[in-house]
Structure formats: C-alpha cells, structure tokens
C-alpha cells in the first residue's frame, strides 16, 4: 500500500551554547535526544511506543555519546521497547532533514506507519570537524579548495562571488534574525516545540526551558563592531553567522492508517524534496539550486510558497538566496521566526526545528498552504523539502 506521509508533532529541548558555561556542558548528547523522544510520545499518548516502526536519528559526529547507532540506542534508552529498531544518519547540517525525508519515504511506500525522525548535535562535546580525518587527497589532488573544509571560509568565499552583498546587508539580516526570534519567543511560537530539560550545572541540578543563544538586545552598532575570525578584513562574524550550539529534537511522522488507528491529527504532509551537490568552497549557495530543482519538479514558482524556513548558517548565504529569487531582505514569509543566527545551529539537529516551525506557521496562518525548508550543507550540498497543509 502506498500513501502520504504526515507530520504529526515535533519536540526539541532548548538550544544551548556550546561553551563550558552552556546549558549542556555536563549533559550527554544521547540524553538530550532521549528527553525529546520521551516528551514526543508523552504528548501523543494514543501511540503505543512499541508500535514505532523505526527511529531515524542524525548526528554529524557519530562517535562517543553520539555514536553506537543512535536511532537504535535511543529506542532502548527512551524505553520504546526492544521491538523498536533504529539507525543513525549523517548528512552534516541536513542530518535531520535526511532522517525526515527517508522516514517519510518509508511511510510513502507503505513499509512503515509510525517513525520518529530527528537529530542531535552536542557541538561542545564534539567541536566541528575535530573528530574527522579528511583524506589527504582532497587537497593533494585539488579535489576541493582548502577553504572548503572550514565553513566560515566558505561564507567569505561567497562574499567574493557576490560582491554586491555588502557586510552591511548581512548585519541587517542578522539583526532581523535576532528581532524576529525575540518576537516569536514572546508570541509563544516555540512553546509547543520546546520541552524543559533538567541538566547538571556547577551549582547542582537545574531546569532549562528557553533557548540560550539569542541576544535580544543586539543593535546594528554592536554587529558592525565585530571582526571576522575567518579572514583578515573579512565580513563573516560571530554576529552574522550561526552559533556553535548543543541541541536535540525530532518529529513524529505517520501514515494514514496510523492516523486512523491512533486518532492522530495530521498537520502537514511531505510533498517532495531535493538534494543537490555544488562547489564545496561556496557550499552556502546550496539552497538556491536545491530549491530550484524542487520547484521545477513540482511545477511551482517561488511565489507559490506561503512560507520558507531557511537555515541561517551565515547571513551572506541567506542574502544570496533572497537576491537570487528577487525577494527583499525583510520578506515577511521568509524565516518569519528568525533562524539559526539568533537561535543557534546544532548541525544535524536543525532540520527538525525547521520542520516544526513550518508546522506552526501553517497552524497560525490558516490561509497558508505550502512551506519550504531549505539549508546549505558542508562539502557543497543543498537540501530542500516541500510541505503542504494536510
């Protein structure tokens, strides 16, 4: 039997800063993911945990507390029952996006009915690229430019390719991200996504219940003072780049049969998706060809999208996307709740947060029908997912 795959619900723990003083400095990555899975199932009590057909969970660093075949370890740790299988996924920043579309596909071909799909990244415990050993041939055979291996450098490269994107526009975009995230926070947008988590801190146990990364008081003057850590005189700064963060969360996807059997409410269905490859040294441009491919295949135009939630790895990459599609910097349907510049970007987890935000936008805007998630991915990839109100 084949059919649609529906998004039912999504849950995440608050995003922390990947610092010694950050929320999760003394908390394991797998425990963060377990907290989100348990909360997701508590919120959907008609679903017997043992009926989950698979747990697809992403992490970029698949070692230590993010190793041991995450999906399966999380199924056991979350007490889903030994019948519940799981697997681990890595497509760097698009880890959770890949977990979600693979899981939706398993439902669409009729192989599975209920799947948990998400991601975790504890960048404090697993600093970016610290646990990998890139093949020397990447550089010796000039397969990629050396700058391709440091994401901030790829963002500086994007500025070189798009000299019309001035530093000032990137700082303006970053400021808008902070303002929109602050407003969304105040309007309770994240209240249905975020569950509190008890964490250990130097002063004992405490409960964290709100994202740690946003800087609501940010001003344009603050942003303009910051210097690029990536290149002398560069344009990419701590203020207009996504942060280094710890986060975890995932979504519950279901078939029509599971919706009927367990009385679930489908919020949106996954229509289609696209992944593309492009020059690794300007990976930030990935959302453009990914979105174009997805729109073309579905006979749609950018104007047919009611909401776009784009990962904000770097402001320059977001501005390049907006410029390409002729959208103004302050398009109110593009990242209406801000994004990773304010909220933080725990790599493989972020795609799950973005799906939750499309679901909430559709819920709060009854006239909206279609939403797109898109993100750039390290080593030169782009990802895009098309959702439609169920």
Ligand X SMILES: CC(C)(COP(=O)(O)OP(=O)(O)OC[C@H]1O[C@@H](n2cnc3c(N)ncnc32)[C@H](O)[C@@H]1OP(=O)(O)O)[C@@H](O)C(=O)NCCC(=O)NCCS
Catalytic residue set: 93, 345, 376
* Nearer of residues 32 and 149 to ligand X, judged by Cβ: 149
Q: Mark 52-91 with x for binding to ligand X (rule: CB under 6 A) and - for no binding.
A: ----------------------------------------
Among 16, 250, 338, 378, binds ligand X (CB under 6 A): 378
Among 111, 139, 166, 238, binds ligand X (CB under 6 A): 238
Q: Which residues contact 388 (CB under 8 A, 6 or more apart)?
A: 268, 269, 271, 369, 370, 371
Task: Candidates 30-38, 165-173, 240-248, 274-282: pick the segment binding ligand X (CB under 6 A).
Answer: 240-248
Among 110, 229, 263, 303, binds ligand X (CB under 6 A): 229
- Compute the half-sphere exposure of residue 157: CA atoms within 13 Å on the CB side of its CA: 18
* Nearer of residues 88 and 242 to ligand X, judged by Cβ: 242
Task: Candidates 216-224, 270-278, 300-308, 357-365: pick the segment binding ligand X (CB under 6 A).
Answer: 216-224
Q: Mark 174-213 with x for binding to ligand X (rule: CB under 6 A) and - for no binding.
A: ----------------------------------------
* Nearer of residues 371 and 378 to ligand X, judged by Cβ: 378
Does residue 241 interact with ligand X by CB under 6 A? yes
Task: Candidates 97-105, 234-242, 253-261, 290-298: pick the segment binding ligand X (CB under 6 A).
Answer: 234-242
Task: Candidates 34-42, 193-201, 238-246, 351-359: pick the segment binding ligand X (CB under 6 A).
Answer: 238-246
Q: Which residues contact 45 (CB under 8 A, 6 or more apart)?
A: none
Task: Indicate the pairing of strand 197-201 with strand 204-208.
Answer: antiparallel
Backbone angles phi, psi at 200, to 5 degrees: -90, 140
Closest contact distance (angstroms) between CB of 217 and ligand X is: 8
Q: Which residues contact 155 (CB under 8 A, 6 or more apart)?
A: 230, 236, 241, 284, 313, 314, 316, 317
Does residue 218 interact with ligand X by CB under 6 A? yes
Strands (E), the chain: 6-12, 16-17, 54-58, 86-89, 114-122, 197-201, 204-208, 245-254, 268-277, 307-310, 370-377, 381-389
Name the closest residue to ligand X (Cβ). Answer: 151
DSSP single-letter state for residue 15? P
Task: Indicate the pairing of strand 245-254 with strand 16-17.
Answer: antiparallel
Among 75, 84, 88, 93, binds ligand X (CB under 6 A): 93
Q: How many CB atoms lie within 10 A of CB 58?
A: 36
Q: Are 342 and 185 in contact (CB under 8 A)?
A: no
- How wide is the angle at C-alpha 61 spanned by C-alphas 350 and 196, nearest 5°? 45
Task: Candidates 24-32, 223-231, 285-293, 321-329: pick the segment binding ligand X (CB under 6 A).
Answer: 223-231
Q: Is 90 helix (H, G, I), strand (E, B) or coil?
A: coil
Does residue 127 interact with ligand X by CB under 6 A? no
* Nearer of residues 242 and 259 to ligand X, judged by Cβ: 242
Q: Are 110 and 2 in contact (CB under 8 A)?
A: yes
Near ligand X in 142-161, by CB under 6 A: 151-152
What is the distance between the alpha carbons of residues 144 and 141, in angstroms, rounded to a whole number? 8
Near ligand X in 304-363, by CB under 6 A: 313, 345
* Nearer of residues 201 and 224 to ligand X, judged by Cβ: 224
Does residue 222 interact with ligand X by CB under 6 A? yes
Closest contact distance (angstroms) between CB of 209 and ligand X is: 21
Q: Which residues contact 160 (CB under 8 A, 6 or more apart)?
A: none
Does residue 293 interact with ligand X by CB under 6 A? no
DSSP single-letter state for residue 328? -
DSSP single-letter state for residue 265? -
- Applying CB under 6 A, the residues found at the interface with ligand X are 93, 151-152, 215, 218, 222-223, 226, 229, 238-239, 241-244, 313, 345, 378
């Amino acid at each position: 039997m084949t059919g649609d795959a529906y998004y039912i619900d999504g849950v995440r723990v608050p995003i922390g800063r990947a610092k010694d003083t950050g929320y999760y400095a003394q908390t394991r990555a797998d425990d963060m993911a377990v907290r989100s899975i348990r909360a997701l199932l508590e919120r959907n009590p008609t679903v017997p945990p043992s009926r989950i057909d698979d747990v697809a969970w992403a992490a970029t660093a698949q070692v230590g507390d993010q190793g041991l075949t995450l999906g399966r370890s999380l199924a056991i740790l979350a007490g889903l029952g030994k019948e519940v299988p799981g697997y681990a996924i890595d497509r760097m920043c698009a880890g959770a996006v890949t977990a979600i579309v693979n899981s939706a596909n398993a439902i669409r071909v009729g192989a599975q009915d209920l799947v948990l799909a998400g991601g975790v990244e504890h960048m404090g415990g697993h600093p970016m690229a610290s646990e990998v050993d890139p093949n020397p041939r990447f550089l010796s055979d000039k397969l990629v430019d050396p700058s391709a291996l440091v994401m901030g450098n790829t963002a500086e490269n994007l500025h070189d390719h798009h000299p019309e994107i001035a530093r000032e526009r990137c700082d303006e975009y970053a400021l808008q991200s902070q303002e929109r995230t602050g407003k969304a926070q105040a309007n309770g947008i994240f209240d249905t996504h975020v569950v509190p988590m008890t964490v250990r801190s130097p002063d004992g146990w405490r409960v964290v219940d709100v994202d740690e990364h946003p800087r609501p008081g940010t001003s344009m003057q603050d942003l303009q003072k910051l210097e690029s850590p990536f290149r002398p005189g560069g344009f990419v700064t701590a203020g207009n780049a996504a942060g280094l963060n710890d986060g975890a969360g995932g979504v519950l996807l279901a078939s029509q049969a599971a919706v009927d059997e367990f009385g679930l409410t489908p919020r949106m269905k996954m229509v289609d998706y696209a992944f593309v490859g492009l020059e690794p040294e300007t990976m930030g441009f990935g959302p453009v060809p990914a979105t174009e491919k997805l729109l073309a295949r579905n006979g749609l135009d950018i104007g047919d999208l009611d909401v776009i939630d784009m990962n904000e790895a770097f402001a320059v990459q977001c501005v390049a996307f907006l410029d390409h599609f002729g959208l103004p910097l302050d398009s109110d349907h593009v990242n209406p709740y801000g994004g990773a510049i304010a909220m933080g970007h725990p790599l493989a987890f972020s795609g799950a947060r973005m799906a939750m935000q499309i679901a909430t936008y559709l819920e709060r805007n009854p006239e909206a029908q279609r939403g797109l998630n898109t993100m750039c991915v390290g080593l030169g990839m782009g990802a895009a997912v098309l959702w439609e109100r169920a």
